[in-house]
Amino acid sequence: MKLVSWNVNGLRAALAKGFIESVNSFDADCICVQETKMQPEQMTHDLGNGYELFWNSAERRGYSGTATATRIRPAAVECGTFDNEGRILTLDLGPVYLVNVYSPNSQGELARLPYRLEWESRFRDYLKRLDAEKPVVVCGDLNVAHNEIDLANPATNHHSAGFSDEERDAFGQLLDCGFVDTFRLLHPDNRGAYSWWSYRMRARERNVGWRIDYFLVSRRLAPQVRAARIHPEIEGSDHCPVSLDLGI
């Protein structure tokens, strides 16, 4: 099973920048997209290649949202039930649950951190419930760099959204519940591997970035992880795609 995840920072904008050609080059079974910023009826393009597209759009138009394109017909589809921002989309693919997630940003001066931590707790409980039924694959923009190796400038970002002690601790709690960061499983010491760069000060060109896009799997799936990659060569967003190959 080959899976791709990408925060496109606006799907309509990404479609104008070669999104379909980029994702079809992966020939993936499922493509999980975050920050769609659109409603299903606004999608006027056909992805082709046999993909069926499922949506969880935010109530607020032009904001947040997730979508998953799949060539594996899901047994069931569930939208996250504890917010109205379209942040969670779960497909039952038979042997696994595939959870596409766009975690809330804690914003400047950590103004939204209390909401973020409450959301994290509820999301963790949700994943534990799914994991009790069958193995889970979680992918998306989790809006946190877990360790100092996961961003270019850790020393100056300890109080920044996405690298606060509280957010990093919440991510650690999720891993402690029985989930594995697949990229670090296969690349424990890989530095300079980032999935998001600011649009300012030529950050992407200089590779001054953060790794905040992930594939996590239930621990019992770890032996099935064949490859976990980041694809900075693919442009069209301030994030790049990440991918996972599973031997199932």
Gap between the Cα atoms of 151 and 147, Å rounded: 8
| Catalytic annotation, pick one of 102, 126, 194, 214 | 102
Give percent of the chain with pLDDT exceeding 70. Answer: 100
Residue 80 has pLDDT above 80, yes or no: no
In tens, the pLDDT along 185-223 reads 999 999 999 999 999 999 999 999 999 999 999 999 999
141 annotated active-site: yes
Interior CA angle at 121 toward 194 and 78, to 5°?
Answer: 85
Give percent of the chain with pLDDT exceeding 90. Answer: 98
In tens, the pLDDT along 24-37 reads 999 999 999 999 99
Q: What one-character-per-residue DSSP string does 9-69 give?
A: SSHHHHHTTTHHHHHHTTT-SEEEEE---S-GGG------TT-EEEEE--SSTTS--EEEE
102 annotated active-site: yes
Residue 81 has pLDDT above 80, yes or no: no
| Catalytic annotation, pick one of 141, 150, 181, 245 | 141
Strand order in the sheet with 30-34: 52-56, 66-70, 30-34, 2-7, 242-246, 225-230
